[in-house]
A = this chain, B = another copy of it.
Amino acid sequence: MAPATVPPRPPAHGVTVWFTGLPSAGKTTIAGLVGRRLAEHGRRVELLDGDVVRAQLSRGLGFSKADRDENIRRIGYVAGLLTGHGVTVLVSAVSPYRAVRDEVRAAVERVGGFVEVHVAADLATCRARDVKGLYARHARGELRGLTGVDDPYEPPLAPELALDTAAESPEESAARVLELLGGRTARVAPVRGAAEVAARGAATAEARAAQALLGSRP
């Protein structure tokens, strides 16, 4: 009674674009703009917003490192399933820890492409935007463990793309993501406050991006 397995699928050219960064850096805004444009051009697109997915998949989890990591693993699992079926998955999630982001990358790359986008803005800019009021709540002492303030954020070492959203508009940022997804090489620009960016070299990041876009499998 061993279950039959499903034959391997042909590559479906799916890709996960993972937007990581501080609260109010602009992840969801840019992902939304990118998603709209891709959908208009006929791509199958799914937005996985960290807050939404957390409500669907991670009720009961908190914001300890272990719980944050588990939440990211779950989003990564879902992103991988969709990517394996040819969907362009746009994940916007703070996802502060590098190790679990790399773990998700490795899992998704087994079935499709993975592009990490560091949505980088300095803390003062994020605090001034404060889209969800988290920084204000923290300032009033109603919240602890806010990423970038009193909880860690580990910036990507070699993202396929780094966006300085303090200097460029959401539309400009979205255009850069679309350019990358269109297959052109994109320079990984160093970003203020993210000195580690490009440590592994832009050439490597570009090669990974190109591989991701081909939807190739190992």
Contacts and interface: CB of A to CB of B under 8 A. Distances in A.
Interface of A: 1-7, 9, 12, 26, 28-29, 31-33, 35-36, 39-40, 44-47, 49, 56-57, 59-61, 70, 73-74, 77-78, 81-82, 84-87, 129, 131, 170
Contacts of A35: 4, 6
Nearest to A40: B7
Given A1-B131, A6-B32, A7-B40, 16 more contacts: A1-B26, A1-B129, A3-B28, A3-B47, A5-B36, A6-B35, A6-B45, A6-B46, A7-B39, A46-B84, A60-B61, A78-B78, A81-B81, A82-B85, A85-B85, A85-B86
Contacts of A40: 7
B57 A6 contact: no
A32 B74 CA distance: 24
Copies of this chain, count: 2
A125 to B, nearest CB: 12
B81 A46 contact: yes
Contacts of A2: 29
B81 A9 contact: no
B44 A29 contact: no
Contacts of A32: 3-6
A9 B56 contact: no
A71 to B, nearest CB: 10
A84 B39 CA distance: 14
A56 B29 contact: no
A46 B81 CA distance: 8
A85 B39 CA distance: 12
Contacts of A28: 3
A37 B19 CA distance: 37
